[in-house]
Structure 1
Amino acid sequence: MEATRRRQNPGAAGGPGAQLGASFLHGSVSADEAARTAPFHLDLWFYFTLQNWVLDFGRPIAMLVFPLEWFPLNKPSVGDYFHMAYNVITPFLLLKRLLYCL
């Protein structure tokens, strides 16, 4: 009876061809090739940084600048509007990031 040998996937974890980061990429792509071809997306980094500075750090500043009479207690405050804008803009930036990957 002939002994059968199973072929190992070269990108399988623990196999002879296993490489760092190859588990989420195709098994034949090396970590160096993946690092070389992965773009940094400077524009998205800039958008997220700008959004964070303006909407998170600017929220208490805007609450000090705008008069309280403009925002009665039964309406959202200016900080709430900044928070709502943050929650609306972030998914669109993440969607843009997702579409870059396709």
Structure 2
Amino acid sequence: MEAAARRRQHPGAAGVQPGTSFLQARHSSIKAEEAAGTAPFHLDLWFYFTLQNWVLDFGRPIAMLVFPLEWFPLNKPSVGDYFHMAYNIITPFLLLKRLPAPPVGP
């Protein structure tokens, strides 16, 4: 039975601990246990993305109903388009928060 399980493994994955993905085993210098133990859940990012999603995605049709159509002629972007543009501009800045801070040098 063990021989059948070993045959199903990807070539080059011999000697890899169970629970380790193929890419992690081949391209990572840390063990799976270390990576799983050091990957925190970013509650602040989750909160920001949830708030952004509710305000900009859920609020877009509401804003389109509230603002008069005369403010947004057909040859200009609608209020929904502006909400979508804001979503696309704000998201990368929220993701920048995931980058590590640069070291402070002397």
Identify whether the pair has TM-score above 0.5, normalized to the shorter chain.
yes
In structure 1, the partner of 2:29 is: 26
Unaligned stretches of 5+ in structure 2? Answer: 1-11
2-structure distance, mates of 1:53, 1:42: 16
> Relative to total residues, which structure has the larger helix share, 1 or 2?
2
Question: Post-superposition shift, 1:96?
Answer: 2.0
* Paired residue type of 1:14: A
Deviation per CA, 1:9-67: give whole Å up to 9, x if none: xxxx523243414435324x2x2332221111111111111111111111001100111
* Paired residue type of 1:15: A
Matches within 5 A, 1:5-84: 13-19=12-18, 20-21=20-21, 22-23=24-25, 25-27=28-30, 29=31, 31-84=32-85
Using the size of structure 2 for normalisation, the TM-score is: 0.68
Distance 1:42 1:25, change over 3 A: farther
Question: Post-superposition shift, 1:101?
Answer: 8.9
1-structure distance, mates of 2:44, 2:28: 24
1-structure distance, mates of 2:36, 2:101: 14
* Paired residue type of 2:82: Y
Identity over aligned pairs, percent: 75
Runs of 4+ in 1 over 6 A off after TM superposition: none
